[in-house]
Amino acid sequence: MNFDELILERQSDRKYDASRAVEEEKLMECIISAGQAPSACNAQPWKFIIVRDSALKTQVCGCAVSMWLNKFCADAPAVVALVLEKPNFTSKIGSVLQGKEYTLIDVGIVAYHFCLKASNLGLGTCMVGWFNEKKVKKLLGVPSSKRVPLLITVGYRAGDLRKKVRKELSDIYSVDKY
């Protein structure tokens, strides 16, 4: 797959082939690629938790299901949780001085790297930001001082590749002035 194909191939997949488990090695490959992501001051403020135990996975995925939201999570063949780790000193100081949450930018990039690699391996993913974080942290033994900004569901896509719904090009850039 070339780069442009990969960009189109990655979508939020919310239907997975229940008969196909996600290979552990493929999850590891995704994490290895994600770890190559850039971050402010190279702080790499992230840690992935692969939820291997199937009963635990059901519980963690259940934390994302609320009313009509994220019902698909319950059927995700695999899930990883992304923990926001403490940044290094320079990133932290930079964030304070610039008033920018560099670590949140960093985790967004690392999550996308993970998802792109997954697509390259033929896997579907969905980044999930709506879930009961407190419950997830408890289930996974994440210290209360840390945040879990995202879960990523992973599985073999069962639905179709969709056309992307995006703003007009003219709405997302300008030249020289805002």
Ligand X SMILES: Cc1cc2nc3c(=O)[nH]c(=O)nc-3n(C[C@H](O)[C@H](O)[C@H](O)COP(=O)(O)O)c2cc1C
User: H helices within the chain, ranges in order?
Assistant: 3-9, 24-34, 54-62, 89-98, 102-120, 133-140
With contact defined as beta carbons under 8 Å apart, do 140 and 81 qualify?
A: yes
For ligand X, give the closer residue by CB, 128 or 142: 128
Cβ neighbours of residue 130 under 8 Å, at least 6 residues apart? 64, 66, 69, 70
Binding mask 69-88 for ligand X (x = CB under 6 A): -x------------------
Residue closest to ligand X, measured at CB: 129
CB atoms within 10 A of CB 106: 24
What is d(CA 140, CA 6) in angstroms, rounded to the nearest whole number? 32
Task: State which of positions 10-69 bind ligand X (CB under 6 A).
Answer: 11-12, 14
Tell me how far, at minimum, the Cβ of 105 lies from ligand X, in Å: 12
For ligand X, give the closer residue by CB, 12 or 98: 12
Instruction: Please report, for residues 5, 144, 157, the alpha-carbon distance to residue 21 in angstroms, rounded to integers and kept in the order given.
Output: 24, 31, 11
Burial classification of residue 80, based on how many CB atoms lie within 10 Å of its CB (0-12 exposed, 13-18 middle, 19 or more buried): buried
Given candidates 144, 145, 160, 164, which one binds ligand X under the rule CB under 6 A? 164
Task: State which of positions 96-135 bind ligand X (CB under 6 A).
Answer: 126-130
For ligand X, give the closer residue by CB, 93 or 161: 161
For ligand X, give the closer residue by CB, 34 or 126: 126
Tell me how far, at minimum, the Cβ of 13 lies from ligand X, in Å: 8
Tell me how far, at minimum, the Cβ of 72 lies from ligand X, in Å: 7
Residues of the shown chain interacting with ligand X in the complex, contacts defined by CB under 6 A: 11-12, 14, 70, 126-130, 164
